[in-house]
Amino acid sequence: MRKTFNPLFPTVLAAVFLAGLSSPPTARGQGQSDLEREFLSPPARVTDGMPRAGEGYFAPDGRQICYQAVPDGYPFYQIFVQSFDAADPRPSVPRRVSTGRGRTTCSWFSPNGRRLLFASSHLDPDLDRTEAAAKARAEEDARTGRRRRYQWDFDPHSDLFTADLDGGGMVRLTDTPGYDAECSFSPDGRQILFVSDRDGDPDIYVMKDDGSDVRQLTNQPGYDGGPFFSPDGRWIAYRTDRLEKDMLQIHVMRADGSGDVAITAGKGVHWAPYWHPTKPWLIWTGADHSDPTKRPNYDLWLARYDTRDPSFRADPPLRITDHEGADVLPA
């Protein structure tokens, strides 16, 4: 049976790409609250022309972005890159990096900006059947007007690949049965973090950049995922529902898997943690789920952290967006 993850929120229609946390900007963003202006520059839309696009990340030089998007006429996300100009962040022409088939996700630039890391199920031996079923469901939804709740599949045929930015030179890094995805490079490019359910449930693993020397970092019941190295490579931020199913919380651990610290707790869902590249800030998406009669609203949260002591410490988090729509996947 295919495993799926059902977040406790409706379909996310847009991701937030942050050009950078800054001092209060001089320009006023349309619809931006005073709270947002204190921390964020005015938002700008950077993708266009595809039904869904999200989970975007900047290239090391900031001149390109990578992301996943659903192309017209195909049911699954594919990986794209496109140029980016912070002075004029209007949508530019995207270039597909993935093969055009299968479920793809979790793209990430190599530290030198020349290669892209991502997960893909394009080698699924039953891909024709999988695609046909997904297309039939999409046609039924279009006919009936149904909008399904967001659901991410832990595709058992998902493996990790790297490729040049034009899609050439593709190299397969994993071939163990089960779901391998949610991947990112270490700052020096020598290691890759990823998530796999090869041991029965999704846990965090690390391996060398050529796919060798695989080591398991977490081994708790429940889901552990979405890991990213800190800018200095000493820490890993990730999300976990080990305390309560589907109620994701933010945790930080050392790069070897020790010293685990919970950053959030309680009746909320917190996910997509991301490190500021130069300042001691950790940002993520979160929503309050304590009142079952209210629709949770996902906003961005920020916490300052301190690693001068041997342990990791974080200040109480601040909510830095309050828009009525979902603000998710900051980078």
> Taking a C-beta distance cutoff of 8 angstroms, is the pair 274, 268 a contact?
no
Q: State residue 11's pLDDT score.
A: 23
Q: State residue 309's pLDDT score.
A: 78
Q: Between the CA of residue 179 and those of 97, 198, 201, 270, 271, what are the distances in Å?
A: 21, 7, 10, 22, 19
Q: State residue 188's pLDDT score.
A: 98
C-alpha–C-alpha distance, residues 222 and 136, integer Å: 32
Q: Which CATH class is domain 50-213?
A: mainly beta
Which tokens go with 82? 């496109």
Q: Which residue has 């410490």 as its token pair?
A: 313
Residue pLDDT tens, the chain, 331 long: 344 444 433 222 234 444 344 333 333 345 667 778 888 888 889 999 898 999 999 999 999 999 999 999 999 999 999 999 988 888 899 999 999 999 999 999 999 999 999 999 999 999 999 999 999 998 898 889 888 776 778 999 999 999 999 999 999 999 999 999 999 999 999 999 999 999 999 999 999 999 999 999 999 999 999 999 999 999 999 999 999 999 999 999 999 999 999 999 988 999 999 999 999 999 999 998 888 888 889 999 999 999 987 889 999 999 999 888 889 999 9
C-alpha–C-alpha distance, residues 254 and 218, integer Å: 11
Which tokens go with 134? 């997904």
244, amino acid identity? E
pTM to 2 decimals?
Answer: 0.89
Domain ranges of the chain: 1-44+217-331, 50-213
Q: State residue 276's pLDDT score.
A: 96
